[in-house]
Amino acid sequence: MGAGAALAALPSAAFAKGDQVATGTTGRWQGKADGAIQAFLGIRYGSDTSRSRFQTATAPARRRDTIRATDFAVNCPQRSGLPNQAEDCLFLNVWTPQANPNARRPVMVYFHGGAYSNGTVIEPQVFGATLAEKGDVVVVTVNHRLNALGYLYLARLDPRFPDSGNLGQLDLILALNWVRDNIIGFGGDPNRVMVFGQSGGGAKIATLMGMPAARGLFHSAATMSGQQVTASGPLNATARARAVLAKLNATPGDLPDMPVRRLIEGLSAEDPILGGGVYMGPVLDMKWLTRHPFWPDANPLGNGIPMILGNTKDETRAFVDPNSEAVRTLDWSNLAERITPQLKIDAHPEWVVAQYRRQFPDWSAQDIFYAATTAGRSWRGQVIEAEERAKAGVPGWVYQLDFQSPVAPERGAAHTHDIPMVFGTIGAEGTVSGTGPGAQAVSAAMQRAFVNLAAKGDPNGAGVPDWPRHTLPERATMIFDTTSRVENDPREWQRELFAGIPYIQPGS
């Protein structure tokens, strides 16, 4: 439903039996029953940014009436085919066992993936009712400004937009401020707030951990296949802004009043650093982000935050279709050529292939393609982050999802496959986990570990195998599978192979 309708006041006579009202310091919201859980959907946490594009959002004014919160709001404008996109998109959703101010349950706040340019929390995999019920927690999911609206860096081109490179991050901070000020009324504990996110959501969290404005707003964190070792440099970010402006044949002053769909078309500009579509992401602007998240070490601002870091074993099976012509026709004559654009690092591809063939003589060309691209492209940032936290002696736990999809076995344990495991939404639209005993076992263990972290800053406890901290040189790693277990340094050879090649975060 539209943003305005999502905020319509509801006469008390229209309340359905069993629906609850939550009261916070900034308002009152009427939710609806979602099974045994109360859902409060489409709650505005930020002002209408369509009226102040490229500016920092503000918290909405407190309202005296009770606001209906029974339907999702809108998705941020983006190049994907998501329905119901609108620029006024700063809304969040809450699921709670009971809107009881005395309950003080742990709070789990989810940020979605899609890099920094696409995505939404309005999809069945990340609906929070099951997690809230099984985990006895309050679940919050957040939509925020993406792509050019959230990360187009104009500060060096026009002084009127000093915050433009990190507005998406500032939206998340605004949402966390809303949680701090209101979550007690929904049964949550503002002193036990955990943030978790997959892919781009994890990268947003890694960045927030090093932003002074986010300090104290969350107390534990989990990143799922999402890392941010370095942020975009200001000169590269400015070059990207120039590319977008050239594509639109516009000046910075033209952008605030440009129709939003036309602005989004500017994202098809070729990235001047990476090639392909123009990258958007957080910027080292020396105002909101004053140093890189995990370079040259783990940012001390976030070192006091207990953290889970995880990846899936076969990340790139989600990015490169195993049924595609490029993969089906892989052989030893073309493997190095086809691996090259997928590695995302400046590694000698023929050398990489030769090393894998020597180490794993029984592997096929396809096996090596996916293992090398996962290790070099998608897993590398997590290794760096985990090791930097280990060097700092701060609490961190690492996992690897090995559970292979029974629905699409050719996908293995691919990127995104851990989302329904944590939310307990196995079998939901868009998932390939299946609902068999194996998926149920993995989901139960992952969900309990995440809930434990939210509740007490440590994933260990009933329902989770003993999970040691990630320290050096042991590198203890939880392998989530039908029977979960801990292994030390499970991909040691692959880790060491790529450790000798400098890693540059794509987009930096």
Q: What amino acid is encoded at 462 in this protein?
A: A
**Cα separation, 64 vs 123, whole angstroms:** 31
pTM given for the model: 0.96
Half-sphere exposure of 183 (CA within 13 A, CB side): 31
339-382: per-residue pLDDT in tens? 999 998 999 999 999 999 999 999 999 999 999 999 999 999 99
- Which one-letter DSSP state was computed for residue 351? H
At residue 110, the pLDDT reads 98
41-53: per-residue pLDDT in tens? 999 999 999 999 9
Q: What amino acid is encoded at 15 in this protein?
A: F
Residue 8 has pLDDT above 50, yes or no: no
Confidence band (pLDDT; 50, 70, 90) for 16?
Answer: low
Average pLDDT over residues 274-296: 96
378-437: per-residue pLDDT in tens? 999 999 999 999 999 999 999 999 999 899 999 999 999 999 999 999 999 999 999 999
Average pLDDT over residues 457-467: 97
In this structure, the dihedral spanned by the alpha carbons of residues 236, 237, 238 and 243, taken in order and rounded to 10 degrees, is 90
Half-sphere exposure of 200 (CA within 13 A, CB side): 22
In this structure, the dihedral spanned by the alpha carbons of residues 431, 432, 435 and 436, taken in order and rounded to 10 degrees, is -160
**Cα separation, 266 vs 251, whole angstroms:** 12
DSSP string, 50-91: GGSTTS---PPPP-SSEEE-BS---BPP-SS--SSB-S---E
In the chain, how long is the greatest CA-to-CA distance? 73
At residue 7, the pLDDT reads 37
Contact between residue 184 and residue 88 where contact means Cβ atoms under 8 Å apart? no
Structural domains present in the chain: 3-232+286-305 (3.40.50.1820), 308-499 (3.40.50.1820)
Tokens coding 109: 């706040």
Q: Is 369 helix (H, G, I), strand (E, B) or coil?
A: helix
**Cα separation, 480 vs 443, whole angstroms:** 9
Half-sphere exposure of 234 (CA within 13 A, CB side): 15
Contact between residue 443 and residue 136 where contact means Cβ atoms under 8 Å apart? no
160-179: per-residue pLDDT in tens? 999 999 999 999 999 999 99
Cβ-based neighbour number of residue 486 at 10 Å: 17
221-231: per-residue pLDDT in tens? 999 999 999 99
Contact between residue 413 and residue 403 where contact means Cβ atoms under 8 Å apart? yes
Residue 21 has pLDDT above 50, yes or no: yes
Mean pLDDT of the chain: 95
Q: How far is CA 342 from CA 309, 317, 368, in A?
A: 23, 11, 12
In this structure, are strands 91-96 and 37-44 parallel, antiparallel, or unpaired?
antiparallel
Q: Checking phi first, is residue 225 left (phi over 0); if not, alpha (psi -120 to 50) or beta?
A: left
At residue 18, the pLDDT reads 73
Contact between residue 55 and residue 161 where contact means Cβ atoms under 8 Å apart? yes
> 473 preceded by cis ω (within 30°)?
yes
**Cα separation, 155 vs 454, whole angstroms:** 37
Q: Is 129 helix (H, G, I), strand (E, B) or coil?
A: helix
Question: In terms of Cα–Cα distance, which of 178, 103, 168 is closest to 140?
Answer: 178
Tokens coding 398: 């690492």
DSSP string, 204-256: HHHHHTT-GGGTTS-SEEEEES---SSPBPHHHHHHHHHHHHHHHT--GGGGG
Average pLDDT over residues 475-490: 98
Residue 1 has pLDDT above 60, yes or no: no
3-state percent breakdown (helix, strand, coil) of the chain, nearest 5: 35, 15, 50
Residue 13 has pLDDT above 60, yes or no: no
- Which one-letter DSSP state was computed for residue 375? I
**Cα separation, 291 vs 368, whole angstroms:** 36
